[in-house]
Structure 1
Amino acid sequence: MSKILVIGAGGQLGQCLKVVAERRGITEIVFPAEQDANILNESGLNDLLAKEKPGFVVNCAAYTAVDKAEDEADLSKSINETGAAYLASSCLANGATLIHVSTDFVFEGNDVKLLKEDDEAKPINVYGVTKLDGEKAVASILPAHFIIRTSWLYSEYANNFVKTMLKLGAERDELNIIADQVGTPTYAIDLANAIYDIIESGETSYGIYHYSNEGVTSWFDFAKAIFDVSQTQVKVNPISGSAYPTKALRPAFSVMDKTKIKETFNIEIPYWRDSLVACIKQINK
């Protein structure tokens, strides 16, 4: 298998890629430290790729603070768009294929239907706009690219909704959770496995793909499931998004159609609740 280079190795997905690489016996893989793989240092990226000569680069580096992005639009744009463009250019110069991770937040999410890769992207917040611009930059610079849109990412690593709920559930008797935003949680370990499946497939059907776990849920039902699986006693009340206003708007319905990724790479995708059980087992360890 080609050598793999992971950018943004210290983040949640980067850590999951490391764990899964060990499980799968993938040794031709490099996880450079952040200072050696700064996505905003174009010449540094070129030097890194020239030195490592990867066949594949996986970009996990992103500005993902959705609400903060409304105030830090320039920083969000520089990491999610400019950084993605620099990396795509470095891949082009060094003959590498780029796997670039994107988001369901490129969609408006006003219609209750499964979102396909070629549906119109109309982001409703700064984060979504900058991620969409990053996708466009990658696609315009580098023909050999796979863009993977994912949603509601969580794992035993870094900060995420599951770990926040477990913490709050241990501290409080009652929680109010938004019930009118619907999507699909994604266990980052499953996404890491899918990324390696794509690399190992040898497929060159470049373009955009959707990946989340199977099934549909709301944040409220997701929280209920977290407490059910972890046997945490806490009362959970459903509230509307309007009762809990955030700086950034969120898509109301962003469930993605995964037919394309499943058929192209022969990938089996676990059901979201089964993956949640697996994650909480790891957290309890």
Structure 2
Amino acid sequence: MKVLVTGVKGQLGHDVVNELRKRNHEAIGVDIEEMDITDSASVENGIKSAKPDAVIHCAAWTAVDNAEDEENIERVHLVNGMGTKNIATVCKELDIKMMYISTDYVFDGQGTAPWKPDCKEYNPLSVYGETKLEGERYVSELLERYFIVRIAWVFGQNGNNFIKTMLNIGKKYDSLKVVCDQIGTPTYTYDLARLLVDMIETEKYGYYHATNEGDYISWYDFAKEIFHQATELGHTDYSEDKLTIFPVTTEEYGISKATRPFNSRLDRSKLIENGFTPLPTWKDALNRYLKEILYSKTY
């Protein structure tokens, strides 16, 4: 199978291309230099010249706070909304299956019940969430052969993320504050890429939620486990006697430009119902990831 992957320079796009090639699929990774998704002519030329059997659309504006800046809002809509429409339009014309990577930010993050993948009670609280929802709607309205996969709390080798931030901050300070009232589950792009390729190889279309398995946790819980595992791996600078972590509420931490969802719990049960292998637990994923980046010092 030939698959075109957008956003190849990002954490997820990078891993998806690697996973496709590992399985002997022909992967064509593009970023803005090869195909500007905001330019309909560029998208048409890019997809028609590649002639893929499927498109996995990972490219997006993901700088959540910067998306709230007045000078960026139009561009964010152009990238996340119209960019996705441009791809879906060509996929429709050529009858190509499409996978769109979305986010828990399409919901308002209220309550404590995990969000079901087929829930339509959208109420995004940020420009990022609004524009990702725009993308979802273009895909679902234009296409019949589509996957919409919502993810959350992403970390991977290729780029910055919460884990790398914690490791770097933990080196510089003997105490830090981490938010304890935003709840969700982390997603390791290496594991997610395997699932996405599993999915694109099928015709089991629809909405899905995909994160690593395990208990729902707060960012504070996640930070504690990061430092605990790093210490276990021999990096004693992160041990409890040298580094203290204080839980704080979102309000206490300080106001950010974009409103974060308190409830990022995503119900993943549809994966098993449709015969897909769930991702490993987030603690297992964290352990494998830390071994990679601590050993290679890529943080």
Q: Same fold (TM over 0.5)?
A: yes
- Structure 1 position 265, deviation (Å): 3.7
- Which residue of 1 is the match for residue 51 of structure 2? 53
Q: Which amino acid aligns with 1:30?
A: I
| Distance in 2 of aligned mates of 1:16 and 1:169 | 27
- Which residue of 2 is the match for residue 65 of structure 1? 63
Q: Which stretch of structure 1 is more off in the superposition, 265-274 or 160-169?
A: 265-274
Q: Which amino acid aligns with 1:52?
A: A
| Distance in 1 of aligned mates of 2:249 and 2:291 | 31
Matched, 1:267 2:267: no
5+ residue gaps in structure 2?
A: 232-237
Matched, 1:235 2:233: no
| Distance in 2 of aligned mates of 1:32 and 1:69 | 23
Matched, 1:38 2:36: yes
Structure 1 length normalisation: TM-score?
0.95
- Which residue of 2 is the match for residue 145 of structure 1? 146
Preserved CA contact (<8 Å) 2:20 2:26: no
* SS of equivalent to 1:226: helix
Among 290, 294, 297, the residue aligned to 1:284: 294
Q: Which amino acid aligns with 1:7?
A: T
Preserved CA contact (<8 Å) 1:92 1:141: yes
Preserved CA contact (<8 Å) 1:197 1:265: no
- Which residue of 1 is the match for residue 82 of structure 2? 82
Q: Which amino acid aligns with 1:63?
A: W
Query: 1:151-175 CA deviation, whole Å, 9 max, x = no partner?
Result: 0000122011111111111121111
- Structure 1 position 95, deviation (Å): 2.2
Q: Which amino acid aligns with 1:114?
A: P
Query: 1:70-95 CA deviation, whole Å, 9 max, x = no partner?
Result: 11221111111000000101111222
Q: Which stretch of structure 1 is more off in the superposition, 31-40 or 242-251?
A: 31-40
Q: Which stretch of structure 1 is more off in the superposition, 211-220 or 261-270?
A: 261-270
- Which residue of 1 is the match for residue 113 of structure 2? 113
* SS of equivalent to 1:127: helix
* SS of equivalent to 2:36: coil
Matched, 1:5 2:4: yes
| Distance in 1 of aligned mates of 2:206 and 2:79 | 21
- Which residue of 2 is the match for residue 100 of structure 1? 100
- Structure 1 position 138, deviation (Å): 1.0
- Structure 1 position 33, deviation (Å): 4.3
- Structure 1 position 208, deviation (Å): 1.1
5+ residue gaps in structure 1?
A: none
Structure 2 length normalisation: TM-score?
0.91
- Which residue of 2 is the match for residue 25 of structure 1? 23
| Distance in 1 of aligned mates of 2:171 and 2:18 | 27
Q: Which amino acid aligns with 2:30?
A: P
Q: Which consecutive aligned stretches of 4+ in structure 1 deviate over 4 angstroms post-superposition? A: none
Among 256, 260, 264, the residue aligned to 1:250: 260
- Which residue of 2 is the match for residue 195 of structure 1? 196
* SS of equivalent to 1:260: helix
| Distance in 2 of aligned mates of 1:186 and 1:198 | 17
- Structure 1 position 227, deviation (Å): 0.7
